[in-house]
Copies of this chain bind each other. A is one copy, B any other.
């Protein structure tokens, strides 16, 4: 029913981002990475999903339409509720998830925090046709992971690495990518 909320970012509290619209501040449950770079007062656009049950009304929200659609697919899987779906999306990227499901890779899927073997098998059985293999730049992933291990947030790391690849598309050596990305990150 509520597809998007556009308002003013008011901070984060207990897994929720606070978004103010016309005097009402909504608490929207999101994954660890969405909006992690936002500062109080920023304008924010959230792709939302309202979930109504007998005992509660909760809004989940994400920083991209594709992440929201991934969330909507995950919660269709039997015995996989919104909380687990948020945990999964907080621990991996949509691309990684899509490829693991599309290729039916139980090992890869159950390597993600929040996904045991049984859940992985159910996800593959019930969602296989809803995901496609996405071309993933392994070097990019490796560079991002390296930067994260140096303490940068995943969004910072990904933005920096994307910028490097944009400016020099032919660069394919992981350590070179990391070096260039660190220069960018130093300027933030």
The answer to the question of A25 belonging to the interface, with a C-beta cut-off of 8 Å to chain B, is: yes
- Min CB–CB distance A113 → chain B (angstroms): 24
Structural contact, B25 and A7, CB atoms closer than 8 A: no
Contacts known (A53-B55, A54-B54); A22 close to B25, Cβ less than 8 A:
no
| Interface SS majority for chain A | strand
Most chain B CB within a 10 A radius of its CB, from A5, A18, A25, A58: A25
User: Interface extent on A, as a size class?
Assistant: 20 to 34
The answer to the question of A122 belonging to the interface, with a C-beta cut-off of 8 Å to chain B, is: no
Residue from B6, B16, B56 within 8 A of A52 (CB atoms): B56
Structural contact, A57 and B1, CB atoms closer than 8 A: yes
Structural contact, A25 and B52, CB atoms closer than 8 A: no
- Min CB–CB distance A61 → chain B (angstroms): 11
Chain B residue with Cβ nearest A13: B3
Q: Contact residues of A with B, CB < 8 Å?
A: 1-7, 10, 13, 16, 18, 20-27, 50, 52-59
Q: Given known contacts A3-B18, A54-B54, what 14 new A-B pairs fall within 8 Å (CB)?
A: A1-B26, A1-B56, A2-B26, A5-B24, A6-B20, A6-B24, A21-B22, A21-B24, A22-B22, A22-B23, A50-B57, A52-B55, A52-B57, A57-B57
